[in-house]
């Protein structure tokens, strides 16, 4: 894309992950004489303005960043390629906002767990799919266990044994502050509870409301092995790579989505030690929660999990921003009418070539001005 005179935007959902990408891209491309810029919400104003100017003037070939990339005041001189990492973490409108910063922009979306809408669009829209379906070398498969939260003390004992062997553990909680409606345990409370239950261990805490510098300091301690257990909210869902961490405990797993559970589980199993993911759940369980836990317990393949997620949640809107749910198709059913869809797909190019008048009328009737949604 750059050789063709275009700029490239690389977007990731968290600063931790985007910074890792920025460091890698600088290492790869600066020796080739290419300029790589960094944009994020927490960046100092002066640095941010300088980077935005370099991007709009075309002096920067590669812009790496978080949601800051698609804000109104960011302009590209000639955006030609957008790469969205952990695509399931962005809304349809957000991905569209970035793509609309250029004309005829090519797009590469990456995810270990495609959202139902994307998976369905890979069947029915003009999306090409590349599948990497093998683990990197030296990775061990992760065992998943479902445990009722009434047996929490046993899980704490398991954490202690793991840490005594010199390995480390994550303990993930869904919320930071107590919510009136969902009486969930908070990360801060969990930290205190674990410190009381396991006094011989060093336990740290990381959550989304910490300042980036504080978060980075705690993560550095954990990576260096000075902390045995890291209590965290779902901020560690992506971009955290600690090979010595071999145990993941997820509290209130029944309240999380399949993509999130699969991503969190992927934070362990990154070293040579056998790894385990413990899903703590509270009863009573609803039917959908039961179905989700069954899928995550039985499958480790992100694509299969995404397929099951599609069955449980529905594919959402192709011509709108909903990423899951009942599709707004009046007459067809995505599963039952696959044959019809495939025929339509074959006929479409012929029709475009031979009867553009029919195509135009058809698009005006059904798409109106919403065709942009099919590109994200």
**Structure confidence by residue, pLDDT tens digits, 274-320:** 899 999 999 888 888 899 999 999 988 877 787 787 777 665 444 44
Q: Quick one: pLDDT band at residue 330, thresholds 50, 70, 90?
A: low
Span 99-141, pLDDT tens digits: 889 988 999 988 776 655 555 555 555 667 777 777 777 777 7
> Sheet containing 142-148: which strands, arranged edge to edge?
142-148, 275-281, 245-250, 168-172, 229-232, 203-206
Burial pattern 202-218, b for ≥16 Cβ within 10 A else e, equals bbbbbbeebeeeebeeb
Average pLDDT over residues 223-236: 87
pLDDT at residue number 124: 53
CATH superfamily of 142-300: P-loop containing nucleotide triphosphate hydrolases (3.40.50.300)
pLDDT above 50 (res 183): no
3-state SS class at 240:
coil
Kindly state the tokens that stand for 137.
Answer: 């070398």
Write down the pTM of the prediction: 0.64
Residue 111: Cβ within 10 Å count: 21
Of 57-71, 135-149, 269-283, give the lowest mean pLDDT range: 135-149
pLDDT at residue number 39: 92
Q: What residue spans define the domains of the chain?
A: 7-110, 142-300
pLDDT at residue number 1: 95
Q: Say which CATH class 7-110 falls into.
A: alpha beta
Average pLDDT over residues 66-85: 92
pLDDT above 60 (res 234): yes
Q: How far apart are CA 155 and CA 197, in angstroms?
A: 11
Fold: same for 7-110 and 142-300: yes
pLDDT at residue number 341: 72
Q: Quick one: pLDDT band at residue 180, thresholds 50, 70, 90?
A: very low
Q: How far apart are CA 291 and CA 281, in angstroms?
A: 13
Percent of the chain with pLDDT over 90: 38
**Checking DSSP bridges between strand 79-84 and strand 106-109, what pairing results, if any?**
parallel
């Amino acid at each position: 894309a750059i050789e063709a005179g275009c700029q490239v935007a690389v977007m990731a959902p968290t600063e931790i992950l985007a910074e890792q990408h920025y460091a890698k891209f600088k290492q790869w491309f600066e020796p080739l004489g290419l300029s790589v810029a960094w944009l994020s919400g927490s960046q100092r104003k002066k640095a941010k303005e300088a980077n935005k100017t370099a991007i709009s003037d075309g002096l920067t070939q590669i812009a790496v960043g978080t949601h800051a990339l698609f804000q109104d005041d960011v302009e590209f001189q000639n955006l030609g390629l957008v790469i969205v990492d952990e695509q399931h973490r962005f809304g349809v409108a957000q991905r569209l906002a970035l793509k609309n910063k250029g004309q005829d922009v090519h797009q590469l979306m990456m995810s270990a767990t495609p959202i139902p809408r994307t998976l369905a669009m890979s069947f029915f829209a003009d999306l090409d799919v590349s599948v990497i379906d093998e683990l990197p070398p030296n990775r061990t498969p992760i065992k998943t266990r479902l445990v009722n939260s009434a047996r929490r003390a046993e899980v704490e004992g398991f954490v202690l044994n793991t840490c005594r062997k010199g390995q480390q553990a994550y303990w993930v909680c869904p919320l930071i502050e107590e919510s009136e409606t969902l009486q969930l345990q908070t990360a801060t409370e969990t930290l205190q509870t674990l410190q009381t239950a396991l006094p011989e261990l060093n336990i740290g805490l990381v959550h989304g409301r910490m300042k980036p510098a504080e978060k980075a300091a705690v993560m550095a301690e954990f990576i260096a092995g000075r902390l045995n257990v890291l209590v965290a909210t779902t901020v560690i869902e992506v971009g955290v790579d600690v090979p010595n961490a071999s145990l993941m405990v997820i509290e209130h797993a029944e309240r999380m989505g399949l993509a999130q559970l699969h991503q969190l589980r992927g934070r362990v199993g990154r070293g040579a030690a056998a790894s385990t993911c413990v899903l703590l759940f509270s009863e009573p369980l609803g039917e959908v929660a039961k179905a989700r836990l069954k899928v995550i317990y039985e499958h480790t393949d992100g694509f299969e999990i995404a397929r099951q997620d599609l069955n449980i949640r529905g594919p959402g809107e192709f011509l709108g921003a909903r990423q899951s749910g009942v599709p707004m198709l009046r007459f067809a059913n995505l599963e039952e009418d696959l044959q019809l869809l495939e025929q339509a797909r074959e006929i479409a190019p012929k029709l475009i070539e031979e009867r553009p008048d029919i195509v135009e009328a058809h698009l005006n009737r059904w798409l109106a001005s919403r065709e942009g949604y099919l590109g994200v």
